[in-house]
Structure 1
Amino acid sequence: MREAEMERLIEPMLKERGFELVDLELSRQGKRLLVRFFIDRLEGGITVDELAEVNQELGSLLDLENVIEGSYILEVSSPGLNRRLRKPKDFQKRLNQMVLVESKEKINGRRHFKGRLVGADSEGITLVIDGESVFISYDKIKRANLEYRFE
């Protein structure tokens, strides 16, 4: 099953319980598939007990729908402070925060950017890096994460 199909399957269940899917990673660990869901509350943070409950519910749903062939390892966790940003709404919720962005191709001679997120619309994001604005369209973003700073 592809990530997009898995997202469509689980997002209604998460939303019904007041959670959102922040990220999903699929990888191989030996002969088994490792399925990692990163979830958070729609409002506020998520507790360890809630993560454990969602883990059981997601495991049951995946087994019931028989979406994964063979054995798999399921992990459910919070996205953490340096959470990944994937969707336009993720960026819009994080305006004025520091982000790290890796682009799929060079933009202004570089592929790695660290700057303050000052804009996010339907086309892409705008970062301020050393006083200069840089626009990166969503289709050029390979990976983006918050850059949390301890003060």
Structure 2
Amino acid sequence: MSRQITETVEKIALPILEAEGLELVDVEYKKEGQNWFLRVFIDREGKPIDLDDCSRVSERLSEALDEADPIPGAYFLEVSSPGAERPLKKEADYRKAVGKNVYITTYEPIEGQKAFEGVLTRFEDNQITVEEQGKTVQIPLDKVAKARLAIVF
């Protein structure tokens, strides 16, 4: 049910974001405590997302969601930037992340481990190549449970 909702919200949000020159990074719909939250993460190439961007998108998206009414019951809508540890979801996200530090978890062990942190050195043919502590690991995209940019201190 929540996957169907997130897919519907993506379809509703995309034209709004495209008109604003923004990119849809992710949509989450989850229950926390007694409340449901619909979180929409947006970004833009070359210029950080600010509060005005989030407010504008939130207003337009809220109106569109009220009209389409794809979500039964009450929920809180949050529109924000994905932050420094941006999730990697689409192939384009992985391509943009080449040369950056990433943190990846997999559904099953690869070379004896399920968590990898290092530099994403290549993405091609649905394979992620990560350089981790001097060794190179190839991770098939369909084995990735979660992936995000990682901050290195």
Q: Does 1:66 align with 2:72?
A: no
Q: Does 1:111 align with 2:114?
A: yes
Query: Residue 6 of structure 1 is aligned with which of 9, 15, 18?
Result: 9
Whichever structure has more helix as a proportion of its residues is 2
Q: In the comparison of the two structures, how many residue pairs are matched?
A: 150
Distance in 1, Cα, partners of 2:10 & 2:146 = 18
Structure 1, residues 37-66: CA drift from partner, whole Å, max 9, x if none? 110114421111111111111111111111
Q: Does 1:92 align with 2:95?
A: yes
Q: Which runs of 4+ in 1 moved over 2 A?
A: 29-33
Distance in 1, Cα, partners of 2:132 & 2:32 = 38
Query: Residue 23 of structure 1 is aligned with which of 22, 26, 32?
Result: 26
**1:122 Cα deviation (Å)?**
4.1
**1:31 Cα deviation (Å)?**
4.7
Unmatched segments (≥5 aa) in structure 1: none
Whether the 8 Å contact between 2:5 and 2:70 is mirrored in structure 1 is: no
TM-score, normalization by structure 1:
0.92
SS of 1:67's equivalent in the other structure is coil
| Identity over aligned pairs, percent | 35
Whether the 8 Å contact between 1:32 and 1:70 is mirrored in structure 2 is: no
Query: Residue 133 of structure 1 is aligned with which of 115, 132, 136?
Result: 136
Structure 1, residues 71-105: CA drift from partner, whole Å, max 9, x if none? 11100110101111111100111111110001011
Which one-letter code corresponds to 1:83 in the other structure?
Answer: R
SS of 1:93's equivalent in the other structure is helix
Q: Does 1:144 align with 2:138?
A: no
Query: Residue 40 of structure 2 is aligned with which of 37, 42, 45?
Result: 37
Distance in 1, Cα, partners of 2:22 & 2:13 = 11
**1:6 Cα deviation (Å)?**
1.9
Distance in 2, Cα, partners of 1:58 & 1:9 = 8
Whether the 8 Å contact between 1:20 and 1:41 is mirrored in structure 2 is: yes
Taking only aligned residues, the RMSD between alpha carbons, in angstroms, comes to 1.4
Distance in 2, Cα, partners of 1:24 & 1:17 = 17
